[in-house]
Amino acid sequence: MITLFHCVSARSFRPLWMLEEIGLPYELKMLPFPPRVHARSYLDVNPLGTVPALFLDDAGRMTESAAICQYLAARHSPGVLDVAPHEADFGGYLNYAHFEPPERRQQQVADDYTKWFLARLRTLEPLLAERAFLCAKRFTAADISVGYALMLAEHLQLSERFPPSIAAYWKRLREREAFQRALEAQRAAARAQGVPEMPAPDVR
Ligand SMILES: N[C@@H](CCC(=O)N[C@@H](CS)C(=O)NCC(=O)O)C(=O)O
């Protein structure tokens, strides 16, 4: 069984959402945020101290959220949740799969990152005015990657600055049943495992 180490609404939400989209069984291990402070033994699991860490059913560990989504899509949902090399949108798919959300750690970095992030949204806006999802005329792992960036931006109070087509896209993503299931799964697991339910982006 796949095991995912996760903090509430941290980047590890990407693989959690992907697991729910695919419908794969998994074990969710919740950690308080940040684990390097509140769960020191996690450093034995992932020396980087970051989430996600995903242990694969057939051995091996992965620690990059976008790479995990691509792995899960390619292995368990090829041609549906990933975009194949022969498809026209392959380049765009890989590009969006690495869409990074803003940070808040240091004020100057956060301000610069916010400007950069909002500028990138401006390039997404015309695209999403014309299509429901980013690539290949279907929902893919690229939407999970960008969707999580929008989720984090909302936690950082940036969603009021989303242009209309992006606000509508974000609403469309939130309404997906797998997204709702992923939210519920992290809530239930946090409660059952005695981990605070406060989303990682809100921890100061
Ligand atoms: N590039 C990595 C970044 C992972 C990462 O930085 N995760 C954050 C949570 S969003 C974390 O675990 N931070 C813990 C810390 O900073 O100690 C990915 O996308 O998976």
How far does residue 11's CA lie from ligand 1's centre (Å)? Answer: 6
Q: Is the CB of 186 under 6 A from ligand 1?
A: no
User: Residue 138: its pLDDT value, please?
Assistant: 98
User: Residue 111: its pLDDT value, please?
Assistant: 85
Q: Is the CB of 183 under 6 A from ligand 1?
A: no
Residue type, 7: C
How far, in Å, CA of 91 to CA of 87, rounded?
A: 9
Cross-strand pairs, 124: none
User: Residue 86: its pLDDT value, please?
Assistant: 96
Q: Is the CB of 98 under 6 A from ligand 1?
A: no
User: Residue 168: its pLDDT value, please?
Assistant: 97
CA distances from 93 to 6, 39, 42, 59, 87 (A): 25, 35, 32, 27, 10
User: Residue 185: its pLDDT value, please?
Assistant: 98
Q: Is the CB of 163 under 6 A from ligand 1?
A: no
Tokens of residue 56, six digits: 């694969």
How far, in Å, CA of 44 to CA of 109, rounded?
A: 30
How far does residue 200's CA lie from ligand 1's centre (Å)? Answer: 10
Ligand 1 atom index nearest CA of 50: 12
Full pLDDT tens readout for the chain, 204 residues: 999 999 999 999 999 999 999 999 999 999 999 999 999 999 999 999 999 999 997 779 999 999 999 999 999 999 999 999 999 999 999 999 888 877 777 778 888 888 888 998 988 999 999 999 999 999 999 999 999 999 999 998 999 999 999 999 999 999 999 999 999 999 999 999 999 999 999 987
Q: Is the CB of 100 under 6 A from ligand 1?
A: no
Atom 8, ligand 1: residue with shortest CA distance: 50
Phi, psi of 77 (to 5 degrees): -150, 50
Q: Is the CB of 149 under 6 A from ligand 1?
A: no
CA nearest to 92, candidates 68, 63, 123: 123
CA distances from 16 to 2, 60, 106, 148 (A): 11, 18, 28, 11
User: Residue 102: its pLDDT value, please?
Assistant: 77
